[in-house]
Amino acid sequence: MDTITDATDEARGHIVISGSHGGHYPAALASRAGIRAVIFNDAGIGLEEAGVAGVLSLADVGMAAAATDCQSCRIGSAQDAVDRGRISVVNAVAARLGVEPGMSVADALDRLADAPTPDNQLPPYAEARSSITLEGTNTEVWLLDSASLVKPEDAGKIVITASHGALIGGDPTRALKADARITVFNDAGIGIDEVGVTRLPALDQKSLACVTVDCMTARIGDAASALETGIISRVNETAKAMGAEPGMPLKDWL
């Protein structure tokens, strides 16, 4: 699955390779879907290890989980994880099965075949969607911890989504669910083939401003973190024309 948000009841009891980052929100979705074991992308690991926090927490409910190195395969592409992915992080359950950092995804899958059924589920993760008015301005900003929470009514708004900035499955039509005036993503370590910033040119084609924040300055999966501490790492041409520059604090630009 290129994104864990596509998980349905069909995934129950199975091993899933996901193109999503391994943070808390994707992990909660995997747990809720009844998946037996899962491999995510480490998204550059990032600030406070947010890119793999969910991978590690899944051990608490007995689910084997691991993450691929973002420099070995494209985030947002499960097939590339199969083809080129190398494991970077494993949780305690996966480690007991023999999954190790440096291992190919194919070898990891052989070991995950013996993964036990989880004995519990992670608590539901609140679908964090809120708005804030920037101090001293009339500028309203929407904070979305996942791009899956974007709605059609977000057209024309400023949206900070804490998801990675890679096109899901490389598909430009999945760049964003609404024509937001400005959109922010996490660069997820940028990664192999610079995939972590591929939504930017796709949104440029629609004259929509888009920037990413450096994963080492803001927790992936946490939009409030992007606003408070995020430093811009990449900008598209539309955002550049609006004064956005790499190295600039996101809040200052907004």
d(C-alpha 191, C-alpha 11), whole Å = 27
d(C-alpha 81, C-alpha 64), whole Å = 17
Q: pLDDT tens, 103-146?
A: 999 999 999 999 999 999 999 876 589 999 998 889 999 999 99
User: Between the CA atoms of 162, 167, 184 and 126, what dihedral angle is there, to the nearest 10 degrees?
Assistant: -30
Closest of 216, 208, 210, 250 to residue 232, by C-alpha: 250
3-state secondary structure of 211: strand
What are phi and psi for residue 142, nearest 5 degrees? -95, 130
The pLDDT of residue 7: 92
pTM, 2 dp:
0.94
Give first-to-last CA distance, the chain, whole Å: 34
Task: Scan for tokens 């950092």, then name that residue.
Answer: 101
What are 184's strand-pairing partners? Answer: 160, 211
The pLDDT of residue 128: 81
Token pair of 247 as six digits = 């190295």
Q: pLDDT tens, 78-112?
A: 999 999 999 999 999 999 999 999 999 999 999 99
The pLDDT of residue 127: 58
Low-confidence ranges of the chain (pLDDT < 50): none
Strand arrangement, sheet containing 37-41: 15-21, 37-41, 64-68, 87-90
How far, CA to CA in Å, does 76 sit from each of 21, 69, 83, 181? 8, 13, 13, 23
d(C-alpha 219, C-alpha 44), whole Å = 11
The pLDDT of residue 124: 83
